[in-house]
Amino acid sequence: MPLQLGSRTAVLEGTVTVEEAEPLAAWLRQTAGPRVNLRDCSHLHTAALQALLAARVKVSVLPADAFLRAWVAPLLERFAATPDQKPLANSSKEAS
C-alpha cells in the first residue's frame, strides 16, 4: 500500500499514484502539523506533490530515491510551514 496515514505522519511508499492524492489531501487538511516520510517512495504523482506543497508539510524522512531526494525533497522543505504559518490549503477557505 503506497499510503499509510498515521496520527501525524503519512508514510508514502513505492509508486504514489493520482488515486492516492485525494485521500492524502483530505488527511493533510484534517491533521495539525502533518509530516511525511518519503524514505521508500519511488514515484510521486504531481497531484500528490501538489497536495503536499499546499499543506506546507514537513519531511520527516528524506527519500532514498535519488530523483526525489535531489528535486522533490528540497522543494517540500522550502515550502514547509513555519510555526506561525498556516497551510496554503486553508488560505482559500479563509478568503471566502
Where do the domains of the chain lie? Answer: 3-90
Query: For the residues 15-33, what does the mean pLDDT come to?
Result: 96
Total residue count of the chain as it appears in this document: 96
- Return d(Cα 61, Cα 16) in angstroms, integer: 16
pLDDT given for residue 83 in this prediction: 62
- Please give the grid coordinates belonging to residue 75: 522543494
Say whether domain 3-90 belongs to CATH 3.30.750: yes
The per-residue pLDDT for range 26-85, each reduced to its tens digit, is 999 999 999 999 999 999 999 999 999 999 999 999 999 999 999 999 999 999 977 666
